A and B are shown apart, each in its own frame.
Chain A
Amino acid sequence: MRALVRIASWLYALAVYGFIFLPVVVLVLFSLQATSFPIPPFTGPSLRWYDAVLADTRLTSALVNSLLVAALSSAVAVTLGFLSAWGFARFTLLGSALLRGLITLPLTVSYLIIGMGLLVLFNWAGVPKSLLAAGIGHVVINLPLCFAIIYSQMGDHQINIERAARDLGAPEWKVLLLVTVPVMAPAIFAGFFLSMTFSWDEFVISFLLTRFDTTLPVEIWNLLRSGLNPKTNAVGSLVFAVSIVLVVFFELMLLRRKPA
């Protein structure tokens, strides 16, 4: 009976792993296709489609745009998230629970609706579609995340260290920069990298709020109009690789925080 459960478990787990990895394996495998269609039989390996991606200035500039939007919007999100988390954790504010609820509210609304709202607002206000507009949207989706992560990590332990610094005569800004930020660094990094990953992958807000200069997911979407194409596989594999790097980084951050 035990052995039977074990064998059945192995088979089941293998099947689910297979299902989970099937599309990724097909994507990466056919990005190495030597001929023009990413369908069987496999004719590679060849790196020609990666060359094609790197030679395509629309894709490479979209890649730079994506990284730029991700880095800047995450920096803004994590800064605002950190300052507000600090404010709420250290001081008793009027209506604190309600205001904290307001900051985390965007987490419960789908990206499509956040994007739609900004589109309608910017349309009325005469704000043109741009990377800046998309970046503003990315801060909206990532700010509650950064706030929640950092706020949940602020405990009594940190308060005591800060109080010691204040007792020793440090002004408020010095406490913030020299004590709170270093102590909270793991949570701040976690918030930043998680935001980077979400912004890097985000499609619908960028799709609605940008026009000519756009982000990589939107540019990939444009590529899809030409049907199945190994070039799309290649750029998709690159996007996947960047996401993995970000996630591994994030995972290492979490591991480093564990022993503390």
Chain B
Amino acid sequence: MNPATNSGRALPWALVTPALGWTLLFFVLPFLAMGFSSLTAHDGSGFTLSNYSQFFANPAYWQAMVNSLQVTAIVTLVSVLLAYPFAWILAEQVPERWQRLALMLAVLPFWTSYVVRSYSWLLVLAQNGVINRALTGSGLFTEPVQLANTRLATITGFVHFFVMLLTLTIFANLKQLSPSYRKAAADLGAGPVRTFLHVVLPLTLPGIMVGAFLTFVLCIGDYITPQILGGNNELLMPQLVMMQIGRRGDFPLASALSIILMAVVTVAYLACARRLKIERA
């Protein structure tokens, strides 16, 4: 069974070493360097915990974390609520042979780059953009509404992306559901609504949670969307990190803030993994 016996032990290690080496050298080592850097003072005067204590002492830094968590929570919730019915319609109401096309269309803009997608929303939401022209043109509003550079704009940009992502994952989930469950429910006298609430929804819940977790991780770590759409009125964590690098060249503080952000994601992961056993899914 095992061909290793006739080729020695050198070959398998020669195969896996380049990939392992790359990961160690350019992923693990940088991470350690970042951890080390976060414990040094910006002026190079030795080791300190001040980068971490700064985060806890400075209300502006705290606020960035609070903002990030709030925005991420809203985005995750709204995206799931929008995407679930949409995925359900694609999986249940659209004729089988059109489903692949319908799904491909639904996630097409998913493949535009972050920068371009956020810029596109800026065009839509700008002071004299498409929505404001429509609002003032229809006579509903006399003055343009401030839409860009707000939290609402950031959330809109995020929801746009994650609705597509969640539609993909929830659609796959609904399709994997064996039709016999539904038949069994119908045989036992359940109507379509009861079948959905007591059979389909609970069975797709683990998939939804995996998608929601993915949304959480990608959303909380993204810099572009809040920077382009939200502007600098209210900072999110990734913006705060980038600000330390850009304006002040303060790598130690940026490293500490990155590690704090990662710790929050890890805690969220552990909480999810415990409750939902996604490691086995």
Chain A residues in the interface with B (C-beta under 8 A): 5-6, 9-10, 12-13, 16-17, 19-24, 26-27, 30, 37-40, 80-81, 83-84, 86-88, 90-93, 99, 102-103, 105-106, 108-114, 116-121, 123-124, 136-137, 139-140, 143-144, 147, 162-163, 166, 172, 197, 200-204, 208, 217, 220-221, 224, 228, 232-233, 236, 239-240, 243-244, 246-247, 251
Q: In the complex, are the beta carbons of A83 and B16 less than 8 A apart?
A: yes
Knowing A17-B105, A108-B217, the reply to whether A26 touches B19 (Cβ < 8 A) is: no
Q: Which of B50-58, B69-77, B107-115, B203-211 contacts A (4 or more CB under 8 A)?
A: B107-115
Q: Report the separation of the CA atoms of residues A86 and B14 in the bound assembly, to the nearest whole angstrom.
A: 11
Q: In the complex, are the beta carbons of B15 and A87 less than 8 A apart?
A: yes
Q: In the complex, are the beta carbons of B123 and A92 less than 8 A apart?
A: no
- Interface code B217-232, partner A: CB below 8 Å = 1, 0 otherwise? 1101111100010000
- Interface residues in B18-47 by Cβ distance below 8 A to A read 18-20, 22-24, 26-31, 33-34, 37
8 closest cross-chain pairs (CB), A and B? A110-B221, A117-B30, A87-B15, A23-B120, A84-B19, A91-B12, A201-B113, A236-B116
The residue in chain B whose Cβ has the minimal distance to the Cβ of A88 is B16
- Interface residues in B87-104 by Cβ distance below 8 A to A read 89-90, 93-94, 104
Q: In the complex, are the beta carbons of B124 and A137 less than 8 A apart?
A: no
Secondary structure class of chain B's binding surface, majority of residues: helix
Among candidates B20, B221, B265, residue contacting A99 with C-beta atoms closer than 8 Å: B20
B104 / chain A contacts, CB cutoff of 8 Å: 251
Does chain A have a CB within 8 A of B126? Answer: yes
Knowing A91-B2, A123-B251, the reply to whether A80 touches B22 (Cβ < 8 A) is: yes
Q: Report the separation of the CA atoms of residues A239 and B114 in the bound assembly, to the nearest whole angstrom.
A: 11
A114 / chain B contacts, CB cutoff of 8 Å: 27, 30
Q: In the complex, are the beta carbons of B116 and A27 less than 8 A apart?
A: yes
Sorting the interface of chain B by its residue count into under 10, 10 to 19, 20 to 34 or 35 or more gives 35 or more
The residue in chain A whose Cβ has the minimal distance to the Cβ of B238 is A112
A5 / chain B contacts, CB cutoff of 8 Å: 93
A93 / chain B contacts, CB cutoff of 8 Å: 12-13, 16
Q: In the complex, are the beta carbons of A140 and B111 less than 8 A apart?
A: no
A37 / chain B contacts, CB cutoff of 8 Å: 128
Q: Report the separation of the CA atoms of residues A244 and B104 in the bound assembly, to the nearest whole angstrom.
A: 11
Does chain A have a CB within 8 A of B174? Answer: no
Q: Report the separation of the CA atoms of residues A176 and B261 in the bound assembly, to the nearest whole angstrom.
A: 43
B29 / chain A contacts, CB cutoff of 8 Å: 121
Residue from A108, A109, A117 with most neighbouring chain B CB atoms (10 Å): A117
The residue in chain A whose Cβ has the minimal distance to the Cβ of B254 is A116
Does chain A have a CB within 8 A of B171? Answer: no
Residue from B4, B112, B128, B221 with most neighbouring chain A CB atoms (10 Å): B112
Q: In the complex, are the beta carbons of A112 and B241 less than 8 A apart?
A: yes
Q: In the complex, are the beta carbons of B85 and A12 less than 8 A apart?
A: yes
Given contacts A13-B86, A40-B128, A240-B112, 10 further A-B contacts (CB under 8 A): A16-B82, A24-B108, A113-B258, A116-B241, A120-B251, A121-B33, A140-B27, A239-B112, A239-B113, A247-B111
Q: In the complex, are the beta carbons of B123 and A203 less than 8 A apart?
A: no
Q: In the complex, are the beta carbons of B2 and A92 less than 8 A apart?
A: yes
Q: Report the separation of the CA atoms of residues A125 and B79 in the bound assembly, to the nearest whole angstrom.
A: 42
B164 / chain A contacts, CB cutoff of 8 Å: 20
Among candidates B19, B218, B238, B241, residue contacting A81 with C-beta atoms closer than 8 Å: B19
The residue in chain B whose Cβ has the minimal distance to the Cβ of A230 is B123
